[in-house]
Amino acid sequence: MSELKTPPSGGAKAAAATADYLDQRTGVGNAVKFFARKVFPDHWSFFLGEIALYSFVTLLISGVFLTLFFVPSMSEVTYPTEGVWATMRGVEMSEAFSSTLRLSFEVRGGLLMRQIHHWAALVFMAAIVVHMMRVFFTGAFRKPREINWVVGFVLLILGLAAGFSGYSLPDDVLSGNGLRITDGVIKAIPIIGSYMSYFVFGGEFPGHDLIPRLFTVHILLVPGLILALIGLHLFLMVMHKHTQYPGSGRKNTNVVGYPAVPVYAGKLLFNFFVVFGVIALMAGTMTINPVWNYGPYDPSPVSAGAQPDWYMLFLEGALRLMPGATEVMIGPYTLSLNVIIPAMIVPGILFTALAAYPFLEAFATGDKSEHHVLDRPRNRPFRTAFGVALLVAFFILVLAGSNDLIATHFHLSINDITWTFRVFLFLGPWIAFVVTKRICLGLQRKDRELVLHGHETGRIVRFASGEYIEVHKPLDAHERWLRVQHEAVRPLEIEPAEDSRGVRRKGYKADRMRQRLSQLFYEDRVEPVTPAEVAAAHGHDEHDEQHTAIEGHGQPAGVGASAHGAEPDGETAPDGRNS
């Protein structure tokens, strides 16, 4: 500790003493030195992962509250005749359900905490998915972040597990039917299905073990794993330093942003309050999962228009779309492909594609270098189109999971809707792929157009010769840099199949397949504009105002030295955006 020049105040003295005490025992000074002014790039889309984190913290806080009042037991009780919820008086129910009613109606603030917990779960999953989309479409998963992508992917799966196990705990008729569906899906597993069902339910469905088991899964196993993996996720994030969007001065070798103390740490802190606050507002004003209207679980009743939470809808939709004819017999044994395909194979394909994509792309790109500057989605047409196609498939399944609501709201035949979705599940992703890829290439061409010819100004000039032209205003160096900074990745080039003496080489087939994959990714591309092309473009536009401008830009390297020098004297002020 350095000596202070002015006599320190009492508070400062105490703080210094505490810091000294801690540092001597933990060396915390090193950590502070490492973290305090660490630079974090700033962008609204980096907030998405934070939303997931804070809704998880909200889940922990509200969840602890709920565990103090919830009884995870399937013992039969009768709702007291003097109970506060009139419609349930005298009804037989499990203790889980009756304690849910008690904590909703008799524990002050209990209903609010339940609704906070449920809304936070929905926000948590939504934030994870949108955060993952951001990471995917900007290529933030590239080396060295592939492992962190996988960690995030596992967190997504754990989020589903947490949501599903928690959703089933109140033991109401809606979630009970969800469990019954789960049981049906488990039984469909070939050979061991019946035993798996016994494994999960501790005997026949519904049995007496499920709620206590789900409770342990929901409050111990899954959140424990989520916490540990969040720790790993953030550790890797700090170790890699955050990615940044492309723009002037943002290089692969630097990180531009705000220091942890005070800006980033402050935002972290206050964003938690914003997320928790918004969830509290939702919980205060919007009812969610009113189990007291559904009633306790009973295997007999079910209501139409029963949907699971949104993140499970895609599975429900897949189950609804599959035609029943696909159940087959192998000798005396039943193979329920009508369940296995939608409940296991389709989600298996979607999730495997998602988890494996970074490795697939790295393989097709043949790229071994680190990437810290994000891609603009348009500059990676295949990836963007692939992601959109995957999302469209997911979205169609979500809609299919709501086909009964679509039918009743729009007065359509449920059979027609189902058939439409069956067709679109196969067509939709392809259409989405082609359209998205075209849009990306179009946007890239638009970028080229802008760099080559500048902004339209709307100013029409007539020359002495009678010729009319519209004056274009060249881009300033920052605007231009954003549009030319990327690399257009090319398909891999491989050695020919035969060497100069005509001998076929080993491994050509594998190389050729890799090249094919690479061509699929990168055959269609638009190259960024080069200085020579700009010069050439202005060679044509003799009359253009740009003509003079390009003279000034003759040495782009020199232009880069000063932002002022890059400002063109145009009609319209350039918008200074860089992203």
Q: Residues 491 to 520: which contact another protein by CB under 8 A? A: none
The 3-state DSSP class for residue 43 equals coil
Question: Vertex 81, ends 77 and 83: CA angle to 5°?
Answer: 85
> Could you say whether residue 283 binds another protein (CB under 8 A)?
yes
Question: Minimum distance from CB of 273 to another protein (Å)?
Answer: 3
Cα(358)–Cα(137) distance, integer angstroms = 11
Q: Residues 217 to 246: which contact another protein by CB under 8 A? A: 239-241
Cβ count near 516 (within 10 Å): 14
Residue 371, classified by CB atoms within 10 Å of its CB into exposed (0-12), middle (13-18) or buried (19+), is: middle
Q: Are strands 455-462 and 468-473 parallel, antiparallel or unpaired?
A: antiparallel
Residue written as token pair 């350095």:
2
Q: Which is nearer to another protein, 341 or 471 (CB)?
A: 341
Cα(201)–Cα(204) distance, integer angstroms = 6
Q: Which is nearer to another protein, 428 or 560 (CB)?
A: 560
Tokens coding 44: 């609204």
Tokens coding 533: 């092309």
DSSP letter, residue 192: T
Q: Residues 332 to 351: which contact another protein by CB under 8 A? A: 332-336, 338-339, 342
Per-residue binding letters, 73-92, with another protein (x by CB under 8 A): ---x-------x--------
Of positions 29, 202, 428, 552, contacts another protein by CB under 8 A: 202
Question: What Cα–Cα distance (Å) separates residue 93 from each residue in 74, 88, 258, 405, 500?
Answer: 8, 9, 55, 29, 82
Per-residue binding letters, 467-486, with another protein (x by CB under 8 A): ----------xx-xx--xxx
Question: Minimum distance from CB of 160 to another protein (Å)?
Answer: 18
Q: Are strands 76-78 and 39-40 parallel, antiparallel or unpaired?
A: unpaired
Cα(184)–Cα(163) distance, integer angstroms = 19
Q: Which is nearer to another protein, 370 or 499 (CB)?
A: 370
Cα-flanking dihedrals φ and ψ of residue 365, to 5°? -85, -25
Q: Residues 358 to 417: which contact another protein by CB under 8 A? A: 367-373, 403-404, 414-415
Cα(99)–Cα(308) distance, integer angstroms = 22
Stretch touching another protein by CB under 8 A, among 7-15, 128-136, 297-305, 387-395: 297-305
Question: Minimum distance from CB of 487 to another protein (Å)?
Answer: 5
> Could you say whether residue 21 binds another protein (CB under 8 A)?
no
Is-contact 546 453, C-beta < 8 A? Answer: yes
The 3-state DSSP class for residue 270 equals helix
Q: Which is nearer to another protein, 329 or 464 (CB)?
A: 329
Tokens coding 494: 């491989």
Of positions 14, 15, 192, 412, contacts another protein by CB under 8 A: 192
**Count of residues engaged in binding another protein, rule: CB under 8 A:** 142
Question: Minimum distance from CB of 361 to another protein (Å)?
Answer: 12
Stretch touching another protein by CB under 8 A, among 64-72, 275-283, 391-399, 464-472: 275-283
Using the CB atoms, write b or e for 30-49: b if 16+ within 10 Å.
Answer: eeeeeeeebbbbbbebbbbb
Question: Minimum distance from CB of 287 to another protein (Å)?
Answer: 9
Residue written as token pair 């000596």:
3
Question: Minimum distance from CB of 511 to another protein (Å)?
Answer: 18
Q: Which is nearer to another protein, 333 or 463 (CB)?
A: 333
Question: Minimum distance from CB of 421 to another protein (Å)?
Answer: 12
Of positions 168, 418, 444, 546, contacts another protein by CB under 8 A: 418
Question: Minimum distance from CB of 127 to another protein (Å)?
Answer: 16
Q: Residues 432 to 461: which contact another protein by CB under 8 A? A: none
Question: Minimum distance from CB of 342 to another protein (Å)?
Answer: 8
> Could you say whether residue 144 binds another protein (CB under 8 A)?
yes
Radius of gyration of the chain (CA): 30
- Residue of 311, 373, 384 lying closest to 347 (CA atoms): 311
Of positions 298, 511, 524, 541, contacts another protein by CB under 8 A: 298
- Angle between the N-to-C axes of helices 110-137 and 146-167, in degrees from 0 to 180, rounded to the nearest 10: 150
> Could you say whether residue 60 binds another protein (CB under 8 A)?
no
Q: Are strands 76-78 and 92-94 parallel, antiparallel or unpaired?
A: antiparallel
Question: Minimum distance from CB of 568 to another protein (Å)?
Answer: 13
> Could you say whether residue 532 binds another protein (CB under 8 A)?
yes
Question: Minimum distance from CB of 219 to another protein (Å)?
Answer: 19
Q: Which is nearer to another protein, 404 or 511 (CB)?
A: 404
Question: Minimum distance from CB of 461 to another protein (Å)?
Answer: 27
The 3-state DSSP class for residue 79 equals coil
